[in-house]
Amino acid sequence: MKQRLVVMNGQRIVQTTPPGTESFEAASNNVIGKASGLKPGVYSLYSALPADKQQSYSGQLIHADKESVYQKTGVNIIKHNRVDFDKVPEIGSVLSIGYSAQGKAETAAAALVQGRGLKR
């Protein structure tokens, strides 16, 4: 079973493939809610990398379900365990997520840094 998040027309839609299939042609679509500041596009949740609790990750939260919280960090999507959070942050917020010595997730507002600029 694969999942992907589709953001279009101001909505967030989670597409889930039936067990045993690889194609999204027969996927079920569940409208989750408003886009909440997410850029339109397709986010492959099934290819998310598990979070390393020794590192800190900065990026935008794109989705949360019963088990995981997904964060887009550059080109990668990081999957955090939901049980590590006391309270799940708001979807669309840009955060820095690190882990304490006890393994609990600690969130802080991340500073946006743009890598490209116009030079003359």
> Is the per-residue pLDDT at 113 higher than 80?
no
Residue 30 burial (CB count, 10 A): 11
The structural domains of the chain, with segments of one domain joined by +, span 3-109
Q: Write the pLDDT tens digit of every residue in 11-27.
A: 999 999 888 887 888 88
Q: Write the pLDDT tens digit of every residue in 30-58.
A: 898 898 889 999 999 999 999 999 999 99
Residue 83 burial (CB count, 10 A): 11
Task: Identify the sign of the CA torsion 98, 99, 105, 106.
Answer: negative
Locus of tokens 């989670």: 14
Q: Write the pLDDT tens digit of every residue in 56-110.
A: 999 999 999 999 999 999 899 999 999 999 999 999 999 999 999 888 999 988 7
DSSP β-ladder status, 94-99 and 57-64: antiparallel
The structure tokens listed for 116 are: 């490209």
Q: What is the pTM of this model?
A: 0.86
Task: Identify the sign of the CA torsion 84, 88, 91, 93.
Answer: negative
SS3 109: strand
**What is the Cβ-side half-sphere exposure of residue 116, based on CA atoms within 13 angstroms?**
0
CATH class of the structural domain 3-109: mainly beta
pLDDT at 116: 62
User: Computed over its alpha carbons, how large is the radius of gyration of the chain?
Assistant: 15
